[in-house]
Chains A and B, each alone.
Chain A
Amino acid sequence: MSTLHVVSHSPFTDGRLASCLRVCGAKDAILLCGDGAYALHNPALHSQGVKVFVLAEDSQARNLPVPDWASSVDYSGFVQLSIDYDKVNTWL
């Protein structure tokens, strides 16, 4: 069972991303969107070994370069991710 975790809160304002990383399984992935995209600045995310995706419009709107350990997706890519993973868990 794999889960796509969707995080839209900045990791610099609350602990959602940290909580998410604690429960992330080996087959899981994280999709950063909105202010969650600022987590691209967080090297800890990479060291966890979890796959990281970012919604392209949100990284572009914030002028955040996408590091080589993360992949950029558009909305059709978001839809495809939600199919590729068994569950989608949004950290509301």
Chain B
Amino acid sequence: MKFAIALFSAAHAPSSRRALLFAQAALAGGHEIVRLFFYQDGVYSAANSIVAPQDEQDIARQWREFVSQHQLDGVVCIAAALRRGVLNAEEATRYQRSAVNLEAPWALSGLGQLHDAAQAADRLICFGGP
């Protein structure tokens, strides 16, 4: 089964962790994840500037490690990211901002990638809210 997963919430929201555990369970079950698309506040789940309290799980880091380990296609919506100040080196240079807080394995791209993933996958599963 091919899954596309869309995440709409930041790393501190329980739904971000729920999406991660779902994605891990999907791969453990022998399924494929064609793309992860982080949209709206979901862009904060990919930012590397997040500092989690020591007694809490660092979900943004867990996402990063999960995507790297399984070489998944992790796409962050570029419009949602720019308006929230989540920038990779290229965008920080383009808009003359001093901070870069998005790097590999994440790629900035457009909403078309979500549409494309929904077409390619058997199921689109969205996570967001609390």
Point out residues on A near B: beta carbons under 8 Å. 8-9, 33-35, 55, 74-76, 78-80, 82-83, 87-88, 90-92
Contact = CB atoms under 8 A, between A and B. Distances in A.
Contacts of A91: 129
A76 B29 contact: yes
Q: Which residue among A79, A88, A92 has the maximum number of chain B CB atoms within 10 Å of its CB?
A: A79
A28 B26 CA distance: 22
Nearest to A16: B129
Interface string B107-130: 000000000000000111111111
A33 B128 CA distance: 11
Contacts of A87: 123
Given A8-B129, A74-B25, A88-B126, 10 more contacts: A9-B129, A33-B18, A34-B130, A35-B130, A55-B18, A76-B29, A78-B22, A79-B29, A87-B123, A90-B129
Contacts of B3: 82
B31 interface: yes
B28 A82 contact: no
7 contacts: A9-B129, A34-B130, A75-B25, A82-B3, A88-B125, A90-B129, A91-B129
Contact of B14 (A34, A74, A79, A80): A34
Contact of A79 (B18, B31, B126): B31
B26 A8 contact: no
Given A8-B15, A34-B18, A76-B25, A82 B130 contact: no
Contacts of A79: 22, 25-26, 29, 31
B68 interface: no
